[in-house]
Structure 1
Amino acid sequence: MQKAAQASSKDAQHKPLDESGLKVYLRLLGYIRSSWFYFALSVFGFVLYSAMEPAQAWILKHIVDVVSNNEIAENRLLIPLAILVIFIIRGLGTFLGSYFMALIANKVVYDLRTSMFEKMVVLPSNYFHSMPSGRLLSKITYDTEQVTGSVTSAIKVILREGFTVVGLLGYMLYINWKLSLLFLIILPVIGLVVSYASKRFRKLSKRIQGAMGGVTDVASEAIKGQEVVKIFGGIEYETKRFRDAAHENRRSQLKMELTKALNTPIVQFLVAISLSGLIWLALDPTFSDNMSSGDFVSFITAAGMLSKPMRQLTEVNSILQKGIAAAQSIFEFIDMDEEVDQGKRRSNSLKGEIRWEDVRFQYPSSDKLALNDVSLTLEAGKTLALVGRSGGGKSTIASLIPRFYDVTGGRLLIDGHEIQDYDLTSLRDKIALVNQNVVLFNGTIRENIAYGRLRNTPDQKIIDAAKAANALDFIQELENGFDTVVGENGVLLSGGQRQRIAIARAILKNAPILILDEATSALDSESERAIQQALDTLMENRTTIAIAHRLSTIEKADMIAVIDHGEIVEVGTHSELLEKDGAYAQLHKQQFAE
């Protein structure tokens, strides 16, 4: 897990942000732009709420002055009505501010998640090889949840309590500006405390995000490999891995809570010092001789009311810093380089001639060539079979055709044009693929056969494809037929059934270029013969690259290339290579003996 995380940090596509926390947060707030009207309503609501705080101090002043001047009879009805109006306006402001801010936050999280997913599906293949899936899921789920707090709770508190502080200070300055200045002197000291806490909060938030990614990594691997974990006695080992990852997350969370727990009372103590000094001076006739009893009580009340909003403003700092740290992680992901697609050529009339000219390729995370000076020419409509030992480079040669990777050196041409000149989407529309590790989605059999751009295919064509792939019989035996849900990655089907669904999908696409990566490896002998007949029909007049372990399945190929250590050892037909009595003949003898 640690190696994978290190590899992901060294990803060539990764572009760390140098932006300050303020710039990151301003970029995050840019997502509010489309909801500016709701934001304006929310701000208006918080202004209403905040304006009622000094109004409460004012009404207290009025009550004291009325009692002092014995004017109770004249104001008996007016004062209760004023109090009622204040609380009605305050309630309305709370509703407007909170509801519309929550609406905006949901929209921001939705936009961020969709932006991240849209970026994820266009990232280069090497990113997914270096980034554990659990860590990637943690970014899309956990990090975006942290952003929710910074957009809802943080902004709500900043606006509501910020306006309240401004309103109360303004009211205090109106009553006695000399005394109010004393309270303002303490604000720079509070600012220093909050600044230090902010840096620590953000540092700890990043550590928590990394630890949460570790938790999801371990859990994801244990879920996917639960059968291996049980059979090979890995329960204790995986449990310890999860405990260690969860402990690291817990430790970082406790440090965050410790900082938060110390930050608030320190700020409260500073406010208390300022408030105590304020009251001490207010009791001095020099400062209060021009103040009425109502003014004095109202001033002290307003000063006391400042404690709550200032405490909440300091407490929200931890939520804000979590959101900034999460937003930075999200924006680093969103700003990553996509697959290079500068090609303009459309492949509408693609014939399928493929030519490798001194092709070299090196994986980004490797220090040696995976392919070295590979030169081959495959005519349109012909079949090329790639054979050899595992890790020799067979799948790498095939993966260059749909441009999952770009060549490091040399040229790869389709119909005489360099593959980089083709529009990426247009090129992949002309390629069908059947992987050795079949990928099925948690939907119905129909949805998995007619997947993606094939989703509007008529039912009869889907049935014909399933029949050609020798899948129709077992599909019809299922209770819901083509509407049977296959589970995550087809877990409810057997290996052979999954492979036949994948072959039916390739048959339905009817593309001029076909890539078969061990397409019959998971089938029993009887199914393999039936599937091989379907593949023979499918491969007619199509350019096919077939990666095969069983040599019996590729004897009819127009060309067979033996790959070893990234180089072509032998090329020829089945009979020609047997006559040479070289590497292919040796492989054939081994399998025949087995």
Structure 2
Amino acid sequence: MPNKQPKPKGKFSSFFSLVKKTKPSYGMLAFALSLSIVTTLVSLLIPLLTKQLVDGFSMSSLSGMQIGIIAAVFIVQAALSAYATYALNYSGQKIISGLGDMLWQKLIKLPVSYFDKNATGETISRVTNDTMVVKELITNNISGFITGIISVIGSLTILFIMNWKLTLLVLIVVPLAAVILVPIGRKMFKISRETQDETARFTGLLNHILPEIRLVKASNAEEAEYGRGKAGIMALFKLGLREAKVQSLVGPLITLVLMAALVAVIGYGGMQVSSGELTAGALVAFILYLFQIIMPMGQITSFFTQLQKSVGATERMIHILAEKEEDIQTGKAIENADQPIKLEQVSFGYKTDQTILKDITATIEAGKVTAIVGPSGGGKTTLFKLLERFYNPTAGSILLGNEPIDTYSLESWREHIGYVSQESPLMSGTIRDNICYGLKREVTDEELRKAADMAYALQFIEDLPKKFETEVGERGIMLSGGQRQRIAIARALLRNPSILMLDEATSSLDSQSEKWVQQALEVLMEGRTTIVIAHRLSTVVDADQLLFVEQGEITGRGTHHELMASHSLYRDFAEQQLKLNADLENKAV
């Protein structure tokens, strides 16, 4: 978040503008607020009815009509208040639903670069925790603020009519209460803002640790991660204590002001009653109206505190909504993807002062296998990200045939790409869901079985109790690495892509799983333009072309045999790799 805060006017207008975009039910909101106002007006009658009851009180004068009117007022007030509360909650829930929908739609369309720069857990907190802050304002505080203002103004007006001298004494209470409550409200806002930020950080920490709980346990890192989580919990605890300290002052201070006002009213009012200037019923009414002035002051202060919190929360939402989203529709459709992919003087860096790829020029022939090899950190994965159009080159261009790939829509480009990575991530759901993931058409059982069969996955799927309806667990944890890879290959086969991108899909598998996956990959690669990031040279020595990438530059290109003869660094690299693979195979035997 930027340190410089916008002017309050801008912040408040942005808040109301954002709420307006959710298309709230203005009719329901107005109706709910109207009911709240009516309820408040009805409550203003109660002290007057009490005054009449006290002034004319005797068993002989007490009529059923008086009791009935008072009972009816209480019942009407309770009924209207209950329905107003429901209507406000309905309006609040509708606005929160609208905010959540806007944020989710935006997040799902943001480019990969956004998620590289922003912690996922903190983003999740914006969608969940921050929207609930706005809901609290709408459902609990707006009504209290409006009715509180009406209650204060209405009570003071009636009191002036009844006895202006005693009312002036009561008026001393209002600024006194404001002097106490306003600074407390500001303090509460500051603490609440810090709590929101700390909650977002803690959510981010949980989201970072829990999905990798197996790594935590395998590394005996429970104590270290417990310490990090404990620090977040203690930070929230300390903020909670600060909030509790401030809140603990509100009740006693309000009580102190109220008691002082009561003593003043009863003392001065009692003198007027004894002199006959004021009736006993009027004094009772004064005391009741005093409560209707003091108590809403807390509601009014809470409204401004919650409004500030909501403005702070919506600032973060506005920042997300202002991010430029990925446009997947603009551009033409690819009519023929079986063309060479050309990289012409492509350069790229994630930051302006950093260059990862430098002046990359190469041609990836259609229908052939091109392997990208080289030391770790040389830029191989970054090159893949450019080909997938997660990022755009900072210089140069990538072409399909003779057309720059950015002239094609992202949707069309990605429809023609099949991607199988080392990890082959799966979504929580069934095997069927994962094989069909992303397809915008119905897949028949025959197509599903054929894709699984070609990926050498059908046999293990058929051996499972629920077959294709088997749940894979979070990130596919219920399946082995080889099984996940074959599911990913079946997914790619079902898409029938023209361009295949493999991030060395067998590098982390045991020998038996590698055998199955390699056979599946050979089926998948047949007749397709294939680009492979090779971590083990033994898997790509037969590639039609190898590009040797080091420190962001292509320093060698050709077949394995050509590079062995002409590129000394490749030769050293290859000999080390092949020797390592041979040693591993011997150990396995």
TM-score with structure 1 setting the length: 0.89
CA distance in 1, matches of 2:528, 2:15: 53
CA distance in 1, matches of 2:332, 2:384: 21
Residue 234 of structure 2 corresponds to which residue in structure 1?
247
CA distance in 2, matches of 1:241, 1:35: 44
In structure 2, do the counterparts of structure 1 residues 33 and 230 end up closer, same or farther at CA, with 3 Å as the change threshold? closer
Give how far 1:375 is off.
Answer: 0.6
Write out aligned runs for 1:295-334 (5 A): 295-315=282-302, 318-334=305-321
Give how far 1:408 is off.
Answer: 1.2
Write out aligned runs for 1:123-138 (5 A): 123-138=110-125
Among residues 362, 372, 375, which one is paired with 1:376 in the alignment?
362
Among residues 227, 233, 246, which one is paired with 1:259 in the alignment?
246
1:487 aligned to 2:473?
A: yes
Partner-residue secondary structure (3-state), 2:439: helix
Residue 30 of structure 2 corresponds to which residue in structure 1?
40
Partner-residue secondary structure (3-state), 2:387: coil
User: Structure 2: 5+ residue runs without aligned partners?
Assistant: 581-589
Give how far 1:566 is off.
Answer: 0.8
Write out aligned runs for 1:82-101 (5 A): 82-101=69-88
Give how far 1:317 is off.
Answer: 5.1
Partner-residue secondary structure (3-state), 1:479: coil
CA distance in 2, matches of 1:446, 1:541: 26
CA distance in 1, matches of 2:149, 2:225: 48
Residue 584 of structure 1 corresponds to which residue in structure 2?
570
TM-score with structure 2 setting the length: 0.89
In structure 2, do the counterparts of structure 1 residues 122 and 287 end up closer, same or farther at CA, with 3 Å as the change threshold? farther
Give how far 1:275 is off.
Answer: 5.1
CA distance in 1, matches of 2:5, 2:333: 35
In structure 2, do the counterparts of structure 1 residues 456 and 165 end up closer, same or farther at CA, with 3 Å as the change threshold? farther
CA distance in 1, matches of 2:5, 2:559: 51
Write out aligned runs for 1:15-54 (5 A): 22-27=12-17, 29-30=19-20, 33-54=23-44
Give how far 1:374 is off.
Answer: 0.5
Among residues 426, 445, 464, which one is paired with 2:450 in the alignment?
464
Deviations 1:410-429 (CA, angstroms, capped at 9, x unpaired)? 21222322233332223222
In structure 2, do the counterparts of structure 1 residues 288 and 413 end up closer, same or farther at CA, with 3 Å as the change threshold? farther
CA distance in 2, matches of 1:288, 1:119: 71
Write out aligned runs for 1:189-228 (5 A): 190-228=177-215
1:201 partner letter: M
Residue 504 of structure 2 corresponds to which residue in structure 1?
518
CA distance in 2, matches of 1:353, 1:551: 24
Residue 96 of structure 2 corresponds to which residue in structure 1?
109
Deviations 1:137-161 (CA, angstroms, capped at 9, x unpaired)? 2222222333332222222322443
Which 10-residue stretch deviates more, 576-585 or 443-452? 576-585
Residue 344 of structure 1 corresponds to which residue in structure 2?
331
Contact persistence 1:211–1:248 (CA under 8 A) = yes
In structure 2, do the counterparts of structure 1 residues 128 and 15 end up closer, same or farther at CA, with 3 Å as the change threshold? farther
Give how far 1:340 is off.
Answer: 6.2
Contact persistence 1:354–1:412 (CA under 8 A) = yes
Contact persistence 1:150–1:323 (CA under 8 A) = yes
Residue 559 of structure 1 corresponds to which residue in structure 2?
545
Report the number of matched residues: 579
Contact persistence 2:55–2:279 (CA under 8 A) = yes
2:561 partner letter: S
Contact persistence 1:201–1:321 (CA under 8 A) = no
Among residues 531, 540, 549, which one is paired with 2:517 in the alignment?
531
Contact persistence 1:461–1:508 (CA under 8 A) = yes
CA distance in 2, matches of 1:288, 1:333: 68
CA distance in 2, matches of 1:279, 1:411: 85
Percent of paired sites with the same residue: 33
Residue 509 of structure 1 corresponds to which residue in structure 2?
495
Partner-residue secondary structure (3-state), 1:377: strand
CA distance in 2, matches of 1:496, 1:287: 95
Residue 414 of structure 2 corresponds to which residue in structure 1?
428
1:173 aligned to 2:160?
A: yes
In structure 2, do the counterparts of structure 1 residues 456 and 159 end up closer, same or farther at CA, with 3 Å as the change threshold? farther
1:500 partner letter: R
Give how far 1:546 is off.
Answer: 1.1
Residue 584 of structure 2 corresponds to which residue in structure 1?
none
Partner-residue secondary structure (3-state), 2:370: strand
Which 10-residue stretch deviates more, 188-197 or 412-421? 188-197
Contact persistence 1:49–1:94 (CA under 8 A) = yes
In structure 2, do the counterparts of structure 1 residues 348 and 188 end up closer, same or farther at CA, with 3 Å as the change threshold? farther
Give how far 1:255 is off.
Answer: 1.3
1:353 aligned to 2:340?
A: yes
1:403 aligned to 2:389?
A: yes
In structure 2, do the counterparts of structure 1 residues 33 and 537 end up closer, same or farther at CA, with 3 Å as the change threshold? closer
In structure 2, do the counterparts of structure 1 residues 19 and 314 end up closer, same or farther at CA, with 3 Å as the change threshold? closer
In structure 2, do the counterparts of structure 1 residues 192 and 504 end up closer, same or farther at CA, with 3 Å as the change threshold? farther
Residue 80 of structure 1 corresponds to which residue in structure 2?
67
User: Structure 1: 5+ residue runs without aligned partners?
Assistant: 1-8
